[in-house]
Amino acid sequence: MSLDEKVMGKHHDKNIFIGIQTIRAFACLAIMFCHTSLGNGHGAIGVHCFFVISGFVTMLSTEKGMDGYWKKRISKIIPLYYFMTIIISIILYFAPFLFRSSELRCDYFFKSLLFIPYNHNGINGPIMAIGWTLNYEMFFYACFYLCSTICHPKRGVIYSIVAIILTFIGTIKNKEMIEPFAAWCNPIVLEFAIGIFIYIVYQKGLLSIKERYNGNAISFLWITYVTITLILMVMIEALMKEVLGAYISLVEGIIAGIMLAFSVCIERLLRGFGIIVLFGNLSYIVYLTHYYIIKGIDYIGDIKGLSKIITAFIGIVFAITASLLGYEIHNRVKEYINESTIINRCEKIIAKQRDNNRD
């Protein structure tokens, strides 16, 4: 059995697309590089990809209903995020000089745990600054769930309408809005709707390609395309952010959506992506932990007088290595939560209440 077969066999899921995991992996690498001493700080381009993918995958995973909806998301997001938030809070309490923008306050701490955005010196919370994306993810999950209770078959369309309305309100009342409403009315909420649109097109069978093409050639071209597209997104972010403002996320989201559509088209042709799929699975853990590991390596590199290239390379290697260990621990915690009788009961109560509302 080849290495690819072993990895794919161990980590395969019916809702995992090789093309999507490729985008996740390369987007995560782009974010990591942008946070190194060599980076330009435009790491948000990877986040746009994550949000568009999230819209697509959430629609896909709820095709047959919402059973286990919150359990899956809680088990994936909360354990590591809460752990990191508590650790960062402890360090922030004893050594606040290590942080340039974060501040530890009781209300900030609980807002961070509840995924409620807040503003501190012009910077959006939470305490673990890089976790700002999770505020949007959880907001999307909550809105999507409510949309599903209204009409499950039309859940994606209803969310898209809500996202458009929120963006319109945010545009009209931009200077008057305060957190968390300013964050919830940011055009970035439309990126999830782009992923939903790609799913709807995919379900109608409009994203398909004949299998007469050579899989190995398509795989090579796909890697090349993803790399070039991410570089293009970095350039657009750098050149157009001041001009477009908050709407840069919509432009980047459309580009990410086109990339997602291509990935779904050629999914059946992709070959030899076992390691990339594994790294795609690691992307969440890498995303939450890499920043502090890389900045720590940069700090040590400055003291030791190491070149930026060396510190950047060591930082990325350390971040990936630590994530491999964290991945195994994270999976064990997910399994424990998924088997929790308390969560199972809560899921049954919610499902029963939803059925009663429909009746």
Of 247, 203, 219, 201, nearest in space to 64 by CA = 203
How confident is the model over 79-103, as pLDDT tens digits? Answer: 889 999 999 999 999 988 877 777 8
CB 231 within 8 A of CB 89: no
Q: Whole-angstrom Cα distance, residue 235 to residue 166?
A: 28
Residue 36 is predicted with a pLDDT of 83
Q: Report residue 355 as tokens.
A: 């059925």
CB 191 within 8 A of CB 250: yes
**Average pLDDT rounded to a whole number, residues 230-247:** 84
How confident is the model over 179-194, as pLDDT tens digits? Answer: 888 889 999 999 999 9
Q: Whole-angstrom Cα distance, residue 71 to residue 23?
A: 25
Whether 3 has a pLDDT exceeding 60, the answer reads no
Q: Whole-angstrom Cα distance, residue 243 to residue 38?
A: 25
| H or E element at residue 119 | strand 119-120
Q: What is the dihedral of CA 5, 264, 155, 44, to 10 degrees?
A: 90
Q: Whole-angstrom Cα distance, residue 247 to residue 244?
A: 5
Q: Report residue 268 as tokens.
A: 């059946």
Q: Whole-angstrom Cα distance, residue 184 to residue 137?
A: 11
CB 91 within 8 A of CB 73: no
Angle between helix axes 308-338 and 274-304 (nearest 10 degrees) is: 130
Of 342, 339, 347, nearest in space to 145 by CA = 347
| H or E element at residue 123 | strand 123-124
| H or E element at residue 264 | helix 248-265
CB 134 within 8 A of CB 117: no
User: For residue 298, what pLDDT band results from cuts at 50, 70 and 90?
Assistant: confident
How confident is the model over 8-39, as pLDDT tens digits? Answer: 444 444 556 889 999 999 999 888 888 887 77
Residue 140 is predicted with a pLDDT of 97
CB 319 within 8 A of CB 293: yes
Q: How many residues does the chain have?
A: 359
Q: Report residue 174 as tokens.
A: 């931009």
Burial of 228 (0-12, 13-18, 19+ CB in 10 A): exposed
CB 164 within 8 A of CB 196: no
Q: Whole-angstrom Cα distance, residue 180 to residue 115?
A: 10
How confident is the model over 133-146, as pLDDT tens digits? Answer: 999 999 999 999 99
According to DSSP, residue 41 is labeled: S
According to DSSP, residue 130 is labeled: G
